[in-house]
Amino acid sequence: MTTYDDNDIASLFDPQLDDPVPVIPPGALPPSWAAGRQAFPPQPPQGPRAWSEVELPPHPVTEVSEEINARACDPTLLAEDPRTGERRRKRSKRRRQTPADREQAAAKKRTDRARKSVRLRLTGTSGHITRTSRTSTAWFVQKQGPWNFRATGKQRRFIQDEAMVLTNLQKAGVERLHRRLVRTPFPVEQWAKDHDRWAAPIDDVPGALSWAEFLRGQQHAMLWSNATIKGRYWGIELPHRSALGAGLDYLAHTLG
């Protein structure tokens, strides 16, 4: 039995595709700490710099004659090519772009191109069964659960159960199995409400971080970290469809 990890489509719309901005979110630190960081921002370690980042000594200033200035300010000469200023602006914009900006723009173009190239072969659905012109697949949703917070024994039992299911499917004649991974945004607001009802608020201390500010800062931190919940879908490919069923689907697709 062959297992296909079909993440090519789901990964294109993954909210974790873009890395979060590496900054401290507002409200995640006590006011005194935040004020201290703003007053004395941490300086990054000074390591060896590239040749393009080395500050060169200023060039000597040379006096320009009045004849050259008059030639540069002549309106007849400036009106000869109106595209000169536009070209200079474009060159200045290109020079302002850093390598990280160019890499990010190239990655965005590749992602947009990949999204446009996706062509779904789906011809119809019936409940949890999807049909193409040649195959039919039954999809099932696996129950979500926190993997990292499980005990080692439960993790091993979970792996053994999955292996047993795959073995039984192979014995039943299943040849192909598809797996899709999707991510949904973490319910930060609901988490804060549940945590506020479950935990006993600590008494506020004058000048210190209050319970409400703590929850607000934690919500900011979770939103800025782009937390998601992973969902897993399993698709069991059914036996090949008959020629009559494939023909009816083709006829329905042609007639619209």
* pLDDT under 70: residue ranges of the chain: 1-95, 145-149, 241, 246, 256
Q: Is residue 127 part of a domain?
A: yes
Token pair 């607001």 is found at 189
Checking DSSP bridges between strand 2-5 and strand 176-185, what pairing results, if any? parallel
The whole-angstrom separation of Cα 13 and Cα 7 is 10
User: Which two three-digit tokens encode residue 64?
Assistant: 């320009």
CA distance 83 to 94: 17
Residue 189 falls inside a structural domain: no
pLDDT for position 21: 46
Asked if 204 contacts 30 with a C-beta cutoff of 8 angstroms, the reply is: no
The verdict on residue 151 lying in a domain is yes
Span 5-46, pLDDT tens digits: 554 455 555 555 555 445 555 555 556 666 666 665 556 556
Q: Could you tell me the residue range of the domain that residue 139 belongs to? A: 1-15+107-184+230-256
| Closest of 123, 121, 132, 125 to residue 241, by C-alpha | 132
| Tally of domains in the chain | 1
On whether residue 117 sits in a domain, the answer given is yes
| Paired sense of beta strands 124-126 and 136-142, if any | unpaired
Tokens 């489509």, residue located: 9
Residue 131: inside a domain, yes or no? yes
How far is the C-alpha of 139 from the C-alpha of 129, rounded, in Å?
A: 6
> What local confidence, expressed as pLDDT, does residue 195 receive?
85
Q: Is residue 145 part of a domain?
A: yes
**Position 157 in a domain:** yes
CA distance 61 to 84: 25
pLDDT tens-place string over residues 186-212: 888 888 888 888 877 777 888 888 888
Q: Is 135 exposed, middle or buried (0-12, 13-18, 19+ CB in 10 A)?
A: middle
Residues 154, 228: Cα–Cα separation, whole Å: 22
**Is there a contact between 226 and 15 (Cβ–Cβ < 8 Å)?**
yes
pLDDT on residue 244: 77
183 φ/ψ angles, rounded to the nearest 5 degrees = -125, 135
**DSSP code of 178?**
E
Residue 235 included in any domain: yes
